[in-house]
Amino acid sequence: MSQQQGKTQAAEPRSGTPNSDAAKSGTPKSWIPKSVAPRFGRIDADLADVESAIARSREFLLSEQHPDGYWCGELEGDSMLEADYIYLHTQLESGDPGRLRRALTEMLRYQNEDGSWSLYPGGPGNVSLSVKCYFSAKLMGIGAEDPRLVKCREWVLEHGGVVACNTFTKMYLCGLGQYDYDAVPAIPPEIVLFPKWFYFNIYEISSWSRSILVPLAIIYAKKPFKKIPPEHSIDELFVGGRANAELRLRLDRKKIVSWRNVFLILDRILHFAEAVHLRPLRTLALARAETWILERLEMTDGLGAIYPAMLNAIIALRCLGYSEDDPQVIRARDEFEKLGIEEPASAGLPEPTFRMQPAVSPVWDTAQAVYALGEAGVPRNDPRMIKAVDWMLSKEVRHKGDWAVKAPRTEPGGWYFEYNNEFYPDTDDTAQVLLALNKVDNPREGYQHKVAQRAIAWEFAMQCKNGGWGSFDKDNTKMIFQYIPFADHNAMLDPPTVDITGRILEMLATYGYTRQDKRVEKAVKFIFSRQEPDGSWFGRWGVNYIYGTFLVLRGLDAIGIDHLEPQIQQAAEWIRMVQNPDGGWGETCGSYDDPDTRGVGPSTPSQTAWALLGLLAAGDDRSDSIAKGVRWLLSRQDAGGGWDERIGTGVTRQALYTGTGFPRVFYLAYEMYRHYFPLLALTSYKRAMERAG
């Protein structure tokens, strides 16, 4: 079926029987509520069944709480994580051999039939990821004539070979002699010397790019090289052979005068200066970059608390001469290894495996869980809720980080995503924590109020000029940075987005703010200015238009926008139009590459919940779409109270990705999304039904 056909079918949802839907999902028939059977074209759920599902979901979610009070589900990414893990330990001649073999087993599980590896389940092959996986397999001793590598090699050569990879992949290949440092875009460490008022200073790029690129600049300057056995080489992945490969990026001849060409010419000049050792500030730059990294290793779970920055920091420290047993290296490596998960052999997994997470999400998961549980009726003074809130309060940021460059006169406040990441609080986590705090009556009421007011003040200080909010920085919007040669990871900037802005509006309304506040009104106007012609909104941090649209509608509803406004009804109609025939909603990561496929994908619990929450926020509580969506969730809840969001069987079983790291580059599966969002959706539906009588 073509994607367009899928959209046409989704526009006309068909009623199905609960039993047939359950059979497709594997849901035990005993859990199919009798009252969701079709009745003369409408499929309404009895409130008793909804309440029963809410109760089971609530108890399941509470059972997942850590004894210390927080929640933290696994954060799953693509096979790049295991491939880079193998690369790191090969580069540094370190690592546990057994764990490396298990990482290889995990990586090979997800090779596609055509030989490639994909950025998300069911997605097309990706050349950078496939080259990394191929190389890692060879580093682990798999021969080039192994059928799995033969298929991968054929696919890679058909898609441009190694030269088609992104800059980060090429930089890693350089370290093991598989690419030329002179052929990768220059990342000079001198960039850290630019003053903060200078147009091209490092605080004008996104926080994650900053934490990735500063250590990578050290690596570029030091140019580490480890010789590997000839049988581990990947010369065969160069179209026409490595000797004949054109490695350098070419100027755009169709548009001679362009920022891309300016930066490419500058890149060649920088490479020439490298070759003739014309770098008078190099020693100072390396010292400044080293200090920058060491400062940001304090009060964090590794540099930036994200996988690529942590990996680069380890290599950078070793390049700077830090020994393997130096406390800084030991700590950096320990934090990196904590991202790993060992999986024992099981019925569906004949061999034990080891996989890496790109980060951990305890603050995010805890805030979402507490909010959903509070909405679902868990008492405001429940000890488990108070314990969770106290844990979140202990994670409040009290030191100035990189964000303070753009908001220097603002008192620290807010929250980050991970266990510890003091330099990088973000506006999205902060808004969600504030929503969660409002659901609990804490005995330390005065202290909690003070913390909340401090966080709200910080949120307002982070508002961008156009009225929206970015995630980690304010007004991080200089589009020129997209043309820098090493910017091909598609995430150089952190501009304001409607999904975060929608959540912040919901939070502000919860704390009594209205459209009478000019800052709120400016945010509303920003959101309306970004609506797509079909009524949807883009989702930067979740997949994709379903995510953006649901958060915007909740924010606008909370702040008092009338449901009858044309923009609201157009958005609601878009959600109804993309409903799947089975009654659920889904959207794949492919909509970032092709917006025409927005709203197209297999139904998932998290995205179905988002769609229902969006419709309810738009005032729709009686349509067939709502009824069928609720039925979809009820019929797919398992006996334990949770939902499943995985596809495949046995060794290839994998979670569908509904989270976004970098659009078009890296996606995520949040383990807890499939649990707390359906709970919130069912609770919101129940309340709407009760209000309607």
* Beta-strand relationship, 654-655 and 646-647: antiparallel
Maximum alpha-carbon separation in the chain: 81
The Cα–Cα gap between 622 and 576 comes to: 12
Positions annotated as catalytic residues are: 428
3-state secondary structure 264-301: HHHHHHHHHHHHCCCCCCHHHHHHHHHHHHHHHCCCEC
> Are 484 and 492 within 8 A, CB to CB?
yes
Q: 241, 253, 240, 228: which is closest to 90 by C-alpha?
A: 228
Label residues 53-82 b or e (16+ Cβ within 10 Å = b).
bbebbbebbbebbeeebbbbbebbbbbbbb
Q: 361, 443, 409: which is closest to 672 by C-alpha?
A: 361
The Cα–Cα gap between 578 and 9 comes to: 8
Label residues 470-497 b or e (16+ Cβ within 10 Å = b).
bbbbbbbbeeebeebbbbbbebbbbbbb
Q: 555, 688, 684, 680: which is closest to 605 by C-alpha?
A: 680
The Cα–Cα gap between 397 and 394 comes to: 9
The Cα–Cα gap between 447 and 436 comes to: 15
Please state at what angle helix 383-393 crosses helix 362-375, rounded to 10 degrees: 150
Task: Look at the block and give the residue holding tokens 């190099």.
Answer: 282
CA distances from residue 387 to 363, 393, 444 in whole angstroms, order as listed = 13, 10, 12
Q: Residue 45 gets which letter from DSSP?
A: P
CA distances from residue 317 to 291, 323, 333, 675 in whole angstroms, order as listed = 11, 8, 11, 40
Q: Find the DSSP H helices in 276-410.
A: 282-296, 307-319, 327-337, 362-375, 383-393
Q: Look up residue 587 and give its two tokens.
A: 């959207």
Helix (H) or strand (E) holding 667: strand 666-670
Q: Residue 123 gets which letter from DSSP?
A: P
The Cα–Cα gap between 503 and 484 comes to: 32
The Cα–Cα gap between 537 and 610 comes to: 13
